Amino acid sequence: MREIIFDTETTGLNPAGGDRLVEIGCIEMINRVETGRTYHAYFNPQRPMPSEAEAVHGLSDIFLSDKPLFADKAEELLEFIADSPLIAHNASFDFGFLNHELERCARDPVCLSRMIDTLVLARSKHPGAKHSLDALCTRFGVDRSQRVKHGALLDAQLLAQVYVELTGGRQIGLSLGATTAAVEIESVATVQVERVVREPRPHAPSEEERTRHRSFIAKLTSPLWERFLAPI
């Protein structure tokens, strides 16, 4: 099954109040294994970046000034995500911004039935614990040493590993690329195993074995089975 893990960075918390999407990062997974295909883009929000938001993700007005508008990249993004389920942490936030931007450029919104929220999964699996992405990385042993500031693609890559752990788990770092796996499966399928047919082994005792057995039984004193064979 194909799934897309994604994360966004924004100018603030409220798209209805004028905040805009400035970055999106997407990771493709098939059967909970990363394929290596990603989508990543920055967008010019056409508004100033609040200092509070810049402190979180480090994206400044100058950096974003020459980036494309969301509308210019919408078709490319929609083609990548296709109709796959979309996984995010605190997904209602990311879906809210994504659908607000799609609405601004006269595109259909992404149906909320496609939304999978890892925050909800984490709360269900570990009630009472901390459920931030950093906390979950620590819990599952996911290396987040490169996460100095928030970044959509990096956070999506971390979340992909967390999502696998939340939905059954696999050993961190133990993964096969789709191509490698296919080659190994093909190799196994084409190996010809030579089978050696052996004659059936006789299981009936020889007359000599019977004689030795009778001799051994005769030496037993009050064997257990005699009490069941004795007449009543």
Residue with the bigger pLDDT between 206 and 105: it is 105
pLDDT on residue 184? 41
pLDDT on residue 170? 65
| Cα gap 56→151, rounded to integer Å | 9
In this model, does residue 63 exceed pLDDT 70? yes
Specify the 3-state DSSP secondary structure of 75.
helix
pLDDT on residue 201? 62
Of 17, 32, 49, 71, give the one whose Cα is nearest residue 163.
Answer: 32
> What are the start-end ranges of the E strands in 68-227?
86-88, 115-117
Q: How far is the CA of 9 from the CAs of 19, 94, 130, 202, 232, in angstroms?
A: 11, 9, 22, 75, 91
Of 169, 127, 125, 153, give the one whose Cα is nearest residue 32.
Answer: 169
Structural domains of the chain ordered from first start? 2-176 (3.30.420.10)
Catalytic sites, residue numbers: 150
Residue with the bigger pLDDT between 128 and 226: it is 128
Q: Is residue 86 within 8 Å of residue 62, measured between CB atoms?
A: no
pLDDT on residue 217? 80
pLDDT on residue 222? 77
Instruction: Report residue 20 as tokens.
Output: 């805009």
Q: Which of the residue ranges 116-125, 143-152, 189-198, 214-223 has the most confident prediction, judged by mean pLDDT?
A: 116-125
pLDDT on residue 6? 97
| Cα gap 43→22, rounded to integer Å | 5
Average pLDDT of the chain?
86
Sign of CA dihedral 165, 170, 176, 178: negative
Q: How many CA atoms lie within 13 A of 203 on its CB side?
A: 1
Residue with the bigger pLDDT between 36 and 198: it is 36
In this model, does residue 159 exceed pLDDT 60? yes
pLDDT on residue 186? 41
The residues, any chain, with a CB within 8 Å of residue 193's CB and separated by 6 or more, are: none
Of 39, 30, 143, give the one whose Cα is nearest residue 98.
Answer: 39
